[in-house]
Amino acid sequence: MGFPKSKILIILAFFSIYVIWGSTYMLNKVAVAELPPFFLASIRFTTAGLLIFIISKAMGKSLAITKKQFKNAFIVGVLFLSFGNGIIVWALKYVDSGFAALEISAQPLVVLLLMRLLQGKRIKPMSLVGVGLGIIGIFLLVAQKQLIAKEGTVLGMIMIFACMLSWAYGSLFVGKADLPKNFFVNTGYQMFTAGITLAIASLLFGEQWIAPNHWTQPVQWSMVLLVIFGSIVAFTSFNYLLKVVSPDKVATSTYVNPIIALILGWYILDEQITLQSIIAAAVLLTGVYFINTSKTTVTVPRFSGKVGADKKK
């Protein structure tokens, strides 16, 4: 299947992975202020998965997969979305959206370290510099007493790191797993099964399910934007860009997303941006840059819906 290299399409696709994914932190923060976290994430991914199935059928794509592919899609959905996203949404009850985005931007560092521990892959000198800068950046980020003094913030940061481990392991699993060949169908199964798993988790934790007609207008709009743009449009744009431009250009979203999240969190949610946070962001993102330019293959799934795609540097 050919992909048209339209300049307008490429610009719009970059806008999607830069701005839309960067805004998902703020949108989740708005929604989780009113809705229980696992219920929120379940509605988002179940709806997105069903819409992807409908779109796939309309495009003439077969939804048929093997039992093994379904099992692997389910495992990836749990690692990336059920645990990865569900816990992140929960953490946003206690952590500022911009702060969470900055911590999550270190995920290439976690993937690299897990590749070393589980696969024995040597970390290249350029990546070692990136790891060192990443650790310093994270330390500067979390060592702000005025931020971590808030109730639940430390636990939120720890759980975000646990999610990053889940993503990192999921990224290594995806590299070897037998999954549906069509990325759109693959994503649909991951999102739908994750949505069902999150619904079960919501019931087990005794969350209150609130009908959409009882949501406030800001929450209704946040959910619509998360489902249609954050989960479908941006993901499709991401995969389109991987086909028509070099992966290192696509990887620039790693640096832009946290900046967008910080700006939107500050402008819309009145979140605090300290000088130390700015310095930490500069150091951390420089570290990520060194890791991403080390010519190492790293899969970087995003909490905002980017699942199962390799970024090869």
Per-residue pLDDT of 158-196, as tens digits, reads 999 999 899 888 888 887 889 888 878 888 999 999 999
Q: Calculate Rg over the CA atoms of the chain.
A: 18
- 224 or 120: which leads in pLDDT: 224
pLDDT higher than threshold 80 for residue 67: yes
Lowest mean pLDDT of 15-29, 34-48, 231-245, 298-312, name the range: 298-312
In 3D space, the residue among 32, 16, 20 whose CA is nearest the CA of residue 269 turns out to be: 32
Q: Give, for 135, the enclosing helix (H) or strand (E).
A: helix 125-142
Query: What are the extents of the domains in the chain?
Result: 7-307
pLDDT at 312 over 60: no
Average pLDDT over residues 16-28: 93
pLDDT for the residue numbered 294: 66
Residue 127 to residue 140: CA distance in whole angstroms: 20
Other CB atoms closer than 10 Å to residue 3's CB: what's the count? 12
Count of alpha carbons within 13 Å of 17, Cβ hemisphere only?
Answer: 23
For residue 103 the two structure tokens come to 């911590």
Q: Categorize the per-residue pLDDT at 216 as very low, low, confident or very high, splitting at 50, 70 and 90.
A: very high
Least confident of 43-52, 95-104, 141-150: 141-150
Note the pLDDT tens digit of each residue in 85-119. Answer: 899 999 999 999 998 998 888 888 888 888 888 88
Mean pLDDT, rounded, for 189-214 = 95
Pick from 138-142, 168-172, 243-247: least confident: 243-247
Q: DSSP for 225-239, please give it.
A: HIIIIIIIIHHHHHH
At which residue do the structure tokens 């999607």 appear? 16
Using 50, 70 and 90 to split pLDDT, how confident is the model at 75? very high
- What is the structure's pLDDT at 238? 82
